[in-house]
Structure 1
């Protein structure tokens, strides 16, 4: 199995990158080692000091897939210098999350992931997404789909028979597999989800979010992926906070400043804002951090979770 190693990395820590709330399909399997599914591929990444090894991976795959995905061509040292000059809180946050990088993720996966993130915590989000992928996701590139055949759903007289994944399919894909990298189904497409009903996703345990996922899938299947903030906000179940996450993590709008419970807490406890003053927080972030608002948000999020 091919591996590729890159050396002399700066401003890069897998622990920081995969634990700052931007992605949900990477799981730590050892010190500095993560297995996960991204960009249609199942890989393991291992960091030792300033070196990173990706397996399986060729140099060409690293340069065309993982270098952009990990945002390795951006000067994060300079970004931290600019932000650290803003105020002491930001300086401490940059130092604490020194190895954070904002991943270049698949937009569709980001949309669904952050719809699922509503009123949820990171372990539950990861569980929901993993069950969803095991239920209706495709096998990774070059791997065989081990799921059991789909089963027919019940239908009213006169209705066409509709095939749904069912609990047996979920068990077959995930039965003897933990979240440790043994098997990672690819993320289901908008077209796949658009053909289902919310109740078909019951085994994934998304709750009320299942309806939003299906409705959004139908919107995207019909009209394509959003290209503007207004189009993001028009998606089912997407409010300002989720929209800002989608803009930042899926559309490279780096001036976005998502305000979740952790960022609201840091703005309240360390910057003195009233907890309900989200409008004031947004205005402050726009004025103080400007085009680097998304990077500032990630440093503050990661820092606040450590306090």
Structure 2
């Protein structure tokens, strides 16, 4: 187990219930158990003051080397979210209120391939069903990742595995039309990775999935929307949650709703929403989106 004290601007419910990830489940003691990087873990956070956002973080089933290699970055612990919240709140009073709802949100730095397929599955879907589909995909086609807390875990299946499947192979998971998208996208990723591996220098204008973190957001967006089943909303989610493009502003039904209700924009006018986010939230557009997303869901509960 790894323990860290004085972790600030942190809340597990805010992080794991803001629509950015799908392989984490809340436990009776308030901790969350899930899997990333092929490793199941339990994450617990105890605030020093009840209801506070500073406290003691513990991660069970990893060692210090694994924490430094993966989990410190995954939980985005080096970013000063206090500064970000202050900067965003000063510019926008509506967002300042939204931040109060989800003060402990942090953007997870997820694996690009898993993020890509997860958000293809997410379109026109609800979170419980998304989670069920992803778990089915992993159980059927992922490598065993060991047993933890009396449950067997499986890693997310590689692109090379999914590229060999047929829609009939995926039928038990009940992905619907998304099955074709997953297979075709996996084939494209495998082909692009193979082709780029034979180049002396990878041109970021013709980038592969693995290169997108160092590509600019426009290049990343163009590449992602060239993949089967990836539209603007899914592409922006992948850029934000898998590619560290924090100025990406995904617009789904919840964001349209919050922009209509709190900013009085037409729910169909996504261009105005995008422009507003760019002008007012800037480099932190994606983080602002998460505060707004979480806030509107709390308001409607």
* TM-score interval, normalised by the smaller of the two chains: 0.7 to 0.9
TM-score (norm. length: structure 1): 0.85
Q: In the alignment, which residue of structure 2 is the partner of 1:291?
A: 283
Q: Match of 1:55?
A: 60
Shift of 1:203: 1.1
* Preserved contact between residue 32 and residue 48 of structure 1 (Cα < 8 Å): no
TM-score (norm 2): 0.87
Other-structure match for 1:110: 115
The one of 101, 107, 121 aligned to 2:106: 101
- Hey, what's the Cα distance between the residues in 2 that align with 1:208 and 1:98? 37
Matched, 1:64 2:69: yes
d(CA) in 1 for partners of 2:298, 2:94: 13
Partner of 2:83, secondary structure, is helix
Aligned counterpart, 1:193: 162
Tell me the distance in 2 between the aligned counterparts of 1:9 and 1:300: 23
Give 4+ residue runs of structure 1 displaced > 4 Å after superposition.
Answer: none
Q: Is the 8 A contact 1:85 1:91 kept in 2?
A: yes
Q: Aligned pair in 2 of structure 1 residues 187, 181: CA closer, same or farther (>3 Å)?
A: farther
> Secondary structure at 2:57's aligned position in 1?
strand
2:188 is aligned to 219
What count of residue pairs does the alignment treat as equivalent? 269
The equivalent residue for 1:150 is: none
2:22 aligned partner: 24
- Counterpart CA distance in 2 for 1:27 and 1:235 is 30
SS in 2 for 1:183: strand
Q: Map Cα deviations across residues 51-109 of structure 1 (whole Å, 9 max, x no partner).
A: 11111111221122110000000000000001111222100111111000000100000
- Secondary structure at the aligned position of 1:79 is classed as helix
- Distance (whole Å) between structure 2 residues aligned to residue 239 and residue 229 of structure 1: 9
**Once the two structures are superposed, what CA deviation does each residue of 1:241-292 show, in whole Å capped at 9, x if it has no partner?**
1010011111111110000011000000100000110111111111111111
Match of 2:240 among 245, 248, 260: 248
| 2:265 maps to 1:267 | no
Larger radius of gyration between Structure 1 and Structure 2: 1
Partner residue in 2 for 1:238: 230
1:39 aligns to 2:37 (yes or no): yes
- Give the SS at the match of 2:104: coil
Any gaps of 5 or more consecutive residues in structure 2?
48-54, 194-207, 213-219
**Corresponding residue of 1:278:** 270
Tell me the equivalent position of 1:165. Answer: none
Give me the whole-angstrom Cα distance separating, in 2, the residues matched to 1:135 and 1:26.
18
* TM-superposition CA deviations, 1:97-138 (whole Å, max 9, x none): 100000010000000000000100111111110111111111
Q: In the TM superposition, what is the alpha-carbon distance from 1:181 to its structure 2 partner?
A: 7.0
TM-aligned CA deviation for residue 32 of structure 1: 2.4
**Maintained 8 Å contact 2:92/2:280:** no
1:287-306 per-residue CA deviation (whole Å, 9 max, x = no partner) reads: 11111100000000001100
Structure number having the greater helix percentage: 2
Q: Which runs of 5+ in 1 are unaligned?
A: 145-176
Deviation at 1:15, TM superposition (A): 0.9
Of 79-88 and 107-116, the range deviating more from structure 2: 79-88
What is the CA–CA distance in structure 2 between the aligned matches of 1:181 and 1:54, rounded to whole Å?
A: 17
1:248 counterpart SS class? helix
